[in-house]
Amino acid sequence: MGFKHLLLESIPFVAMVMVECLDVGMTTLSKAAMSRGMSHFVFVVYSNALASAILLPSSFIFSRKNRPPLSLSLLCKFFLLSLVGITVMQNCVFTGISYSSPTLGSAMSNLVPAFTFVLAVIFRMEKLDIRSTKSQMKILGTLVSISGALIVTLYKGASIGKSPNDSPENPSQSLLEQTNNWVIGGLFLATAGLSLAVWSISQAAILRGYPSELTIVAFYCLFGTIQCSILSLIVVRDPNAWTLGPDIELISIIYSAIFGSVVTFSVLTWCIHKKGPVFVALFKPVGIAIAALMGVAFLGDTLYVGSIIGAVIIVIGFYTVLWAQSKEENQKSNKVHKQLSPSSSQRRPLLESHLDEANILA
């Protein structure tokens, strides 16, 4: 019985580590495909189209009994959700990774809780009391995370594990070009993090009135495919860019659609239902280590001192915000528990009245 309970409790931990591995695997494969000339606009269109083909029939089969009716206003909300979460966010992610590396992408993704906290305060979804220690820790953690992201983006530092013989013939020109690409990639990834924060808050608001997760994700991918198709037809003028070879390009699209969208969204929804959003967010920094290892092993990326320093600072700020949030949630739950359970002073008169009734009956 104890072993079975331990096994059931460990499933969410294993599932979240698997999700982080799948997410980093998607960025690594997409980086490999784009390094061979594949357009990231075409990549986003094909991967979301395949995900829509899988999710739409599934939503009608599994959610037809408990799915609330759809309305025009609800479809408009799904359309705007796709605009922020796919058209802007995914294109910025893959553009940023094409300029930098999956390691930088995983490091910058830890800005999402800080952005979400700022937006939640602006839209009054989160209460902020400057005199409270927990609110002060949230603000401090947010500022630390943003500082770490600036270090990762603007400072590369010395390379780690690279031989001096591997230096190019014109090192100053190459260094300037790499630094510019790194900064551009960091800006795109920061924009993607802000878009993901807006998407999270918008999705939470939609889920309050329409609690069918599978239907939301299905229409989310469908509208995202339509939007990205229009954008790609405008930006990508070469018809040959839409032709896929049976190599890393096709593999990366299938992987992104199945594991990056269908499996990841399903596992995240299940883990949030079982353990809550704070538990899910705790595993985000794990992606930095996984991305660094996979980038070095499969893409030949070089680790830089600035990436390590900035990533550590981001993680410190990230866990500071999460610690303050968990303390606030515990305080709220304890307050609710005290309100629901009668105090000892309330229980004493009740006990005395029962004793008096017993004495009268006797």
Please write the tens of the pLDDT for every residue from 181-213: 778 888 898 898 888 888 877 877 787 788 777
The vertex-344 CA angle with 338 and 350, nearest 5°, equals 115
346 has a pLDDT exceeding 70: no
For residues 240-260, give the mean pLDDT: 86
Q: What is the pLDDT of residue 176?
A: 52
Q: What is the pLDDT of residue 350?
A: 47
Least confident of 78-82, 116-120, 165-169: 165-169
- Largest Cα separation within the chain, whole Å, is 104
Q: What is the pLDDT of residue 79?
A: 93
Mean pLDDT rounded to a whole number for the chain: 76
d(CA 62, CA 65): 8
Q: What is the pLDDT of residue 172?
A: 47
Q: Which residues contact 51 (CB under 8 A, 6 or more apart)?
A: 221, 256, 257, 258, 260, 261, 262
β-pairing verdict for 159-160 and 303-304? antiparallel
Q: Which residues contact 159 (CB under 8 A, 6 or more apart)?
A: 302, 303, 304, 305
Return phi, psi of residue 246, to 5°: -80, 55
- pTM as predicted: 0.70
The alpha carbons of the chain give a radius of gyration, in whole angstroms, of 25
227 has a pLDDT exceeding 90: yes
For residues 315-344, give the mean pLDDT: 70
Least confident of 33-37, 98-102, 231-235: 98-102
- What percent of the chain lies above the pLDDT cut of 90? 8
d(CA 29, CA 36): 11
For residues 117-145, give the mean pLDDT: 78
